[in-house]
Amino acid sequence: MKRQINQLRKVLFAIVHPACWKPLTLGVGAAIEHIHGLRGLSVDGIIDVGANVGQFSLACRILYPNVPIVAFEPIPDAATLYRKVHGGCRDVTLKQCGLGTEAGTAVLHLSRSADSSSLLPIGELQTQVFPKTEEVGTIEVPVARLDDFTSTWSGRNNQILKLDVQGFELNVLLGGQQTLQSCRFVYVECSEIQLYQGQAVRQEVSSFLESKG
């Protein structure tokens, strides 16, 4: 019931926001659960890491229609749909790659629930807590460092950096320490417990961010 109510809320939200009409025909709604926390900020750029099919980017487009968005998504099917959702938006750019501590390639562990896929192996606890998220295959994907793209957001000092990368948050941050200097807001999904093998938990991620001011 909770899921159906949330879906209904997204449809109602989409009806009154024209930017949502095309995405809705593709089965994609804005991540309205983030709207309250994002509203009213002074920002000059948005970096969406782990963009999936563009739900968070869509919410940001509605709140900040003139602010450029740079998104990162390594899963081919998700990246393809992201481009359809945001196609024609001049200020939205998608980089089809993962992010980590160094450039190269990496194995992406695909989950039965696509948005639970990770560059880390899926742990036993993950599948216990969240059924139907077990690994169903692997693919090799390109990986870069966030700091490899600093020229893309040169001159910006009030960016939002959003991370939703299924346990790989600290790796992304370690590869983006220069980028952090241009980010006023860092919005991270992280876990109190280790759901993926080798995952840094919330306290480790928080300690790193605090050390960077």
CATH number of 30-211: 3.40.50.150
Q: Is the pLDDT reported for residue 6 higher than 80?
A: no
What is the rounded CA–CA span in Å between residue 1 and residue 130?
Answer: 18
Residue range 155-169, pLDDT digits in tens: 999 999 999 999 999
* CA angle at 77 for the pair 76 and 80, rounded to the nearest 5°: 85
Domain boundaries, the chain: 30-211
Residue 148 tokens, joined: 């490899």
Q: Is the pLDDT reported for residue 3 higher than 80?
A: no
Residue range 42-82, pLDDT digits in tens: 999 999 999 999 999 999 999 999 999 999 999 999 999 99
CB 51 within 8 A of CB 115: no
Cβ neighbours of residue 164 closer than 8 Å, sequence gap 6 or more: 49, 50, 52, 56, 189
- How much is the average pLDDT of 190-206? 97
What is the rounded CA–CA span in Å between residue 32 and residue 40?
Answer: 15
pLDDT band at 25; cut points 50, 70, 90: very high
pLDDT at 129: 94
Task: Report the percentage of the chain scoring pLDDT > 70.
Answer: 98
pLDDT band at 88; cut points 50, 70, 90: confident
Residue range 133-149, pLDDT digits in tens: 999 999 999 999 999 99
